[in-house]
Amino acid sequence: MVSLVIFLPLVGAVLTMLARSESAIRWSALLVTSATFLLSLGLYFQFDPGVSTQAVPQMAQISDLWFPDSMDIKYFVGIDGLNLLLIMLTTLLGPIVVLSSWTYIGKNHKPYYTLLLVLQTGVTGVFAAFDIFLFYIFFELTLIPMYFIIGIWGGENRVYAAVKFVIYTLVGSLLMLVALIFLGYAAGDAINAGVFTTDWYKLVAFNMPLGTQNWLFLLFALAFAIKVPLFPLHTWLPDAHVQAPTGGSVVLAGVLLKMGTYGLVRFCLPFFPNAAQDYAMLFAVLAVIGIVYGALVSRAQTDAKKLVAYSSVSHLGFVVLGIFAFNVEAMQGAMIQMINHGISTGALFLIVGMLYERRHTREMSDYGGIAKSVPVLTFFMVVSVLASAGLPGLNGFVGEFLILIGSFSSTSLASPWLVVVATTGVILAAVYLLYMVYAMFWGTLDRDENRDMKDLNKRELGLLIPLAVLMVVMGLAPSPFLAKSEPAVKDLLETIETKRLAAEEMASSAQALPLTID
């Protein structure tokens, strides 16, 4: 069933390619993504957090037909606490993105929806893969459709943004490829009878010698840090976001960025626990700089979409901070914050896109007082903004709160001052987001074209309501969602701790050896 959820959009891509008319293309894309979402609901309810995923993921599908003899590379997908919610988020955003593109995309419908569906297959595959070779293929597969989506249907500066996006990501991921191959050989020699392996469970079981861990960790972390994006590697993000069409921005912010943070959790931490702890401080500091810097830059924007784009830098800084705190609260906060950010920032991009469709401008000064002309849209905007700013009772609060508590008490991060600085990010978020609402929706309605703006139609309502409902539900009752990932997070942290101690013991006994000979 996991494979079906991954590849159904790809089948849909073929369908849209064969479709004759414009509406047939759109409807088939909507149908396929909705069907995929319904299927993935099955995953959600079938997943039982009580069953351990320490040895094998739930609903696993394994086939070694791919590389029959020479290498231990498998088609290996499954569900555990770490990826379940992210897969759900991906499938949920699928139909929403299709709906949001309904009238926004003015030319070349066929390739757009085809690429969108290919993209969904890539992203779902990234989250579901338990073989790092397979992961890498899906990871790179997401680049190709995104490149075209930005480059063909984007804004004025689209080519620059598209190429920058691809080159940035590619440099990181190719360096990760080298590290990945090295890791596969090393693990193969040590624990897999000399056969190259990319099986996640085998790689987690393998203790990498300390010195090598460092540079492997850095190569992996670089690839993911670019994707997140972590300050100072974030410069591709505003370009890509601003130029991308709304649908592209939603996918980009909603799930593509999560591939970075997910990669850190899934691969960097358990593969290289010692190095990850050694560099925890560095990453936490960069994350905090990102939080504050992203927030300040957001405040300075005049373009609403750019503002939302920079807010992603700030919000994902929280996620990275939580990941490198190495305790259950912060990690859980990071997991749920990934989902929250996908929902609330996705909604913000959708709304900015809707405004752009009506007025063909994203400059905040071109709006003002439109709460009077589009009250329903304003309502959803305010809900999303408050969720994004972390108002208690809405989803954003849960994640940020857990992350801040967790990092405050973290033993890996030397100083609570980091958290104090990070907390200002929450305040600044309220400042820049409320400023945006103030500038665009309140004030005097002094332009005729703003006065005649149409409010949300049924299609737009349909795609915003589920997101708004989720914001409230996840804010008021986060525990069912947290419960899904909790055992997996605990297992992960336990594995990290055991591996770390084992490696340190090995290193110290290796040092002690010459002494005993004396």
List interacting residues with another protein (CB under 8 A): 66-70, 108, 136-137, 140-141, 143-144, 147-148, 151-152, 158-159, 162-163, 166-167, 170-171, 174-175, 177-178, 181-182, 185, 196
Q: In one letter, which amino acid is 283?
A: F
Nearest-angstrom CA–CA distance, 236 and 287: 17
> Residue 429: phi, psi to the nearest 5?
-60, -45
DSSP letters for 256-267: IHHHHHHHIIII
Instruction: State the Cα–Cα distance between residues 195 and 212, nearest whole angstrom.
Output: 20
CB 241 to another protein: min, Å? 18
* CB neighbour list of residue 261: distance below 8 Å, 6 or more residues apart: 224, 228, 316, 319, 320, 323, 334, 338
Least distance in angstroms from the C-beta of 28 to another protein? 19
Query: How many Å apart are CA 480 and CA 495, to the nearest integer?
Result: 24
**Residues facing 79 on adjacent strands:** 58
Q: Could you give the angle at the alpha carbon of 100 between the alpha carbons of 97 and 101, nearest 5°? A: 90
Minimum distance, C-beta of residue 149 to another protein, in the bound complex (Å) = 11
| Residue among 167, 289, 298 nearest 242 (CA) | 298
Q: How far is the CB of 138 from another protein (least distance, A)?
A: 8
Q: 440 and 320 in contact (C-beta within 8 Å)?
A: no
Residue 72: CB minimum distance to another protein, A: 13
Least Å from the CB of residue 137 to another protein: 4
> 232: buried, middle or exposed (CB in 10 Å: 19+, 13-18, 0-12)?
exposed
Q: Which of 30, 176 has the CB closer to another protein?
A: 176
Angle between helices 109-128 and 2-18 (to 10 degrees): 170
| Integer Cα distance of 19 and 27 in angstroms | 10
Work out how close the CB of 8 gets to another protein at its nearest, in angstroms, rounded to a whole number. Answer: 17
In the complex, the smallest distance separating the C-beta of residue 71 from another protein, rounded to whole angstroms, is 9
What is the three-state SS of 45-105? HHCCCCCCCCCCCEEEEEECCCCCCCCECCEEEEECCCCHHHHHHHHHHHHHHHHHCCCCC
> CB 38 → another protein: shortest distance, Å?
27
Residue with smaller CB distance to another protein, 29 or 150:
150
Instruction: Name the β-bridge partners of 131.
Output: 199
Least distance (Å) between residue 22 CB and another protein: 16
Separation CA 502–CA 278 (nearest Å): 15
Nearer residue to another protein within complex by CB, 158 or 202: 158
Task: List phi, psi (to 5°) of 374.
Answer: -130, 70
Nearer to another protein, 213 or 344 (CB): 213
Nearest approach, Cβ of residue 270 and another protein (Å):
22
Given the complex with another protein, which of 11 and 56 has the nearer CB atom? Answer: 11
Interior CA angle at 462 toward 368 and 25, to 5°?
Answer: 110
CA Rg value for the chain = 23
Q: How far is the CB of 159 from another protein (least distance, A)?
A: 5
In 3D space, the residue among 338, 340, 290, 284 whose CA is nearest the CA of residue 311 turns out to be 290
Cβ at position 215, least distance to another protein in Å: 9
Nearer to another protein, 179 or 467 (CB): 179
Residue 230 per-residue DSSP state: P
- CB nearer to another protein: pick between 223 and 335: 223
Q: Look at phi and psi of residue 108 and say left if phi exceeds 0, alpha if psi is from -120 to 50, else beta.
A: left
**Which C-beta is closer to another protein: that of 25 or that of 440?**
25
Alpha-carbon gap, residue 33 to 474, rounded angstroms: 23
427, with CB counted inside 10 A (0-12, 13-18, 19+), is exposed
Of the two residues 37 and 127, which places its CB atom closer to another protein in the complex?
127
